[in-house]
Amino acid sequence: MRRNNEGWGIRSVQLDLARQMETLQFIGEFIDFIAANGYNSLTLYLEGRIRTDSFPYPSKNESYSPDQIRRIVDLASARELDVIPVVSTLGHAEKFLCHKELESLAELRGGREGRFGNQLGMFCPSLDETFVFLETYLTEIAELFPSKYFHAGCDESWDIGYCPVCRDRIEFDGQTQSSIFSEHLRRSRRIITEKLGKRMIVWDDMFEMYPEALDEIPKDIVMCSWHYGTIADIPVGHFLNQVREDSFAKYDAKGFDYMVAPADYSARNVETFTRYASRYRPIGGLLTTWEKSCKFLYGSYPTIAFAGRLWRDGDTGKAEDIYSESIKAVLDVRDEKLVEAVKNLKRLPSILETGFSVRALSRGLELDSEREKDCLVGAISSSIRSHSGSVKGGLGKKVIEDILAELDQAQVNRQLRILVPELIQPMGKMCRPTAARLRKVLIEMERIHNSRLKQWKEHRKGLVPRELKARYSRMKEDFALLTQNDSKRSVLSLAFFLPDQYSAQKTSFSIRWRGQKKMTFAADGVFKEPGHSAAFYRYDIPIVGRGIPEVIRIETWGYGGQGFSYLEIRTVHGRFVPVAILNVEGSVEHPEHILVRDLKWCFAGERNTRKAFLNPGSERTRHVIEISMGNSEAQG
């Protein structure tokens, strides 16, 4: 692989302070760490985390003051690090719009429903008042950061075209969602570049929806390209049925500068994205880290060190050696077995789950890939634990402590994947072996939770572990539901088909039981494959009802469509399976496929996700399938 040292002027790592604040002490230590591992800048993902004169609404314990930000910038400057702010100017504006004083600037103001509900998460790009606020606030923020770069966000902006003003621009002024989006970028650039003298960076995912916008915006806007999976040849799209496109070739042809933005989830993501980028001339890289409110950043330090050193060296052909040396430096060890175990762990994509969910674990260990993954995690965990004594330094111990806590959670989840299918069967009294195993798992879950709280007091002193405690409470509530000896419980077993796991289709299931005239609600939700790795997947959902199910109604709506392969209902009276299609409404392809337990599927909704996206309101169309059910034994 050829070297590509030219152009990698930005080597940055991101702190997601919007989702989880960190103490100034931790940020100072993090600055020292990244400065020693190849980075020349720090990116602060802020949204509305800084309170200013124009934005005084956040409480002091939920925001940073300008003086605190100046201290961070000074600490970075002392280590010759640039600090780049990220302030969301379109989507992901929740931290602004949650304050009643700014609700009037939201696209979904007035209780309006958007594509995924009515959360106030996006600025209206058609209101002059939006830009009055943004100009004042961005000016205040820019004064705190000497960097020549300013990241304006603009990712995942789902609801363009929903408010009356945006809708009128489309219906009466001949504009499109794309032209509204590009106009927003131009107006933001007038503030950031023309007034404040900064070079504007944006996330590039919305150009999948609005590719024509690339021809309508200034070429000095930098494309920050985020992809969080393994890249085999060219990147897979975030939306639009995961279309593949050689995006850097396109940016080169159109004259845009661009940078890679992998995530700390997997070192394979960093390595393969960098290898793809080495064929082109990116101006830099940004390693993103997200949502550490239930965990800590230390477990990501090996991947963070690897990315910084890889980008500094510029030779992807030496990635294996760079990775090994990065781990040795972080842990301050020469134990090759420990290094290899950590390396293998951090190369596995999305293998460590942050919490327990009945729905995510209700499928059991039915896939060979899941069994293999769990066995691999177990082996890695044993190896790291047995060799952890070789770690002597303070930082290395923090890293291993965080990794082991994640592995402990993964091991608990493995036990739950075995137990949950047993617990959600139609049942009366729980058998003794199952009850004993469950008690053991619950004790381990509580131990992990208390260990995390102890870490919190050490690493985030003065900050409230709100989400960590809320997650544990939800876990206990889920178990209370699962473990009650309810003889009225039945199980709805669902086989889904969905190749595009970026879909967000909502589905509701209702059942008419024998002797009833009306349907009874059974379950609802957005049913995705938990690991985002399979097109076919299954859920077993406990439902209330012990009678004879005669009809089941599937009702689905939203963005991206949903496929169904099969379903059945298990009660104390037996197993009930589909017999005939009674009714179909909306857009449903091949509903008859749901009658047979095989690999065919029916599909409800719009397959062309871009077409759906460009038609606001289409997500409210209901697609319905009604199916008569019969006892499988009676069917012969």
Res. 546: pLDDT tops 80:
no
| Mean pLDDT to the nearest integer, 201-214 | 96
CA atoms within 13 A on the CB side of 10: 29
CATH number listed for the domain at residues 489-635:
2.60.60
| Mean pLDDT to the nearest integer, 572-593 | 96
| Mean pLDDT to the nearest integer, 68-76 | 98
Res. 356: pLDDT tops 60:
no
Taking the C-alpha atoms of residue 87 and residue 145, their distance in angstroms, rounded to an integer, is 12
CB 254 within 8 A of CB 230: no
pLDDT tens digits for range 277-296: 999 999 999 999 999 998 99
Phi, psi of 184 (to 5 degrees): -60, -45
Res. 203: pLDDT tops 90:
yes
Q: Which residue has the higher pLDDT, 318 or 1?
A: 318
Tell me, what's the pLDDT at 512?
97
Taking the C-alpha atoms of residue 453 and residue 513, their distance in angstroms, rounded to an integer, is 46
Whole-number percent of the chain with pLDDT over 70: 92
Alpha helical stretches, state H, 79-219: 94-97, 128-142, 164-171, 177-189
pLDDT band at 7 (very low <50, low <70, confident <90, very high): very low
Tell me, what's the pLDDT at 542?
83
Q: What is the mean pLDDT of the chain?
A: 90
Q: Which residue has the higher pLDDT, 125 or 635?
A: 125
Q: In 10 A of CB 347, how many CB atoms?
A: 18
Taking the C-alpha atoms of residue 556 and residue 390, their distance in angstroms, rounded to an integer, is 54
Tell me, what's the pLDDT at 387?
93
Where exactly are the structural domains of the chain?
10-294, 347-483, 489-635
DSSP codes joined into one string, 372-438? HHHHHHHHHHHHHHHHGGG--SHHHHHHHHHHHHHHHHHHHHHHHHHHHHHHTSS-SSPPHHHHHHH
**160-174, 367-381, 617-631: least confidently modelled range:** 367-381
Res. 414: pLDDT tops 90:
no
pLDDT band at 29 (very low <50, low <70, confident <90, very high): very high
Tell me, what's the pLDDT at 636?
45
Tell me, what's the pLDDT at 532?
59
Q: Which residue has the higher pLDDT, 351 or 546?
A: 546
Taking the C-alpha atoms of residue 614 and residue 150, their distance in angstroms, rounded to an integer, is 29
CB 176 within 8 A of CB 213: no
Res. 91: pLDDT tops 50:
yes
CATH architecture of the region 10-294? Alpha-Beta Barrel (3.20)
b/e code 554-589 from CB counts within 10 Å (16+ = b): bbbbbbbbbbbbbbbbbbeeeebbbbebeebeeebe
pLDDT tens digits for range 92-138: 999 999 999 999 999 999 999 998 888 899 999 999 999 999 999 99
Tell me, what's the pLDDT at 2?
37
| Mean pLDDT to the nearest integer, 189-215 | 97
CB 328 within 8 A of CB 37: no
Q: Which run of H or E residues covers position 513?
A: strand 504-513
Taking the C-alpha atoms of residue 62 and residue 20, their distance in angstroms, rounded to an integer, is 9
pLDDT band at 535 (very low <50, low <70, confident <90, very high): confident
Tell me, what's the pLDDT at 232?
85
Tell me, what's the pLDDT at 621?
93
**134-143, 307-316, 512-521: least confidently modelled range:** 307-316
Estimate the share of the chain in helix, then strand, then coil, as percent rounded to the nearest 5.
Answer: 45, 20, 35
Q: Which residue has the higher pLDDT, 201 or 243?
A: 201
Res. 429: pLDDT tops 50:
yes
CA atoms within 13 A on the CB side of 623: 25
Give the highest mean pLDDT range of 142-151, 225-234, 525-534, 606-615.
142-151
Give the highest mean pLDDT range of 420-429, 461-470, 496-505.
461-470
CB 292 within 8 A of CB 355: no
Instruction: Of 116, 111, 100, 191, give the one whose Cα is nearest residue 157.
Output: 116
Tell me, what's the pLDDT at 410?
83
pLDDT tens digits for range 247-281: 999 999 999 999 999 999 999 999 999 999 999 99
